[in-house]
Amino acid sequence: MLKKILPLLVLPLLMLMGGCATTATFTNLTPRQQVANANNLYPVEVAFNSRQQTLRWDSIKPQIVVGSQTYPMRPTPLMSNRWEGLVPVPAGTTVIHYQYKFDYLNNAFGPPQPDSARSAEYTLRIVPSSE
């Protein structure tokens, strides 16, 4: 009987120690549409929060993912949990789909372990300028 119950008792402990990525939340701060511009670079911004106590905040490497391409992000000035970046969009493109990917380290028994979290997919519409 104990052999059958023991795995059920240990599972929650393992999930806490492993720091499940489901504790990560992304808040997309980017408008759903932006006016077309001459340099074809469009800013995106995200807030990232996590209840994962083992996450090493100083190790976060955020990226914007568009298809198979990734673009780096940088911390937003004066904010502790926000990042921003630029997405190049080919001229004439009216819609892109993107998501955020955050790679980071978790404190663990022994050396820190790599982990990552991905946001949902977002859509950005590029509308013609009214000029």
For residue 80, which of 102, 55, 48 has the smallest C-alpha distance?
48
Residue 129: pLDDT band (50, 70, 90) is: confident
Backbone angles phi, psi at 6, to 5 degrees: -55, -45
Q: Which fold has domain 2-127?
A: Immunoglobulin-like (2.60.40)
The tokens for 24 are: 């990560």
The answer to whether residue 66 scores a pLDDT higher than 60 is yes
pLDDT, tens digit, 9 for 90 and up, residues 49-63: 999 889 999 999 999
Q: Which residue has the tokens 């701060």?
A: 29
pLDDT, tens digit, 9 for 90 and up, residues 80-96: 899 999 999 999 999 99
Q: Give me the residue spans of the domains in the chain.
A: 2-127
Rounded to two decimals, the pTM is 0.80
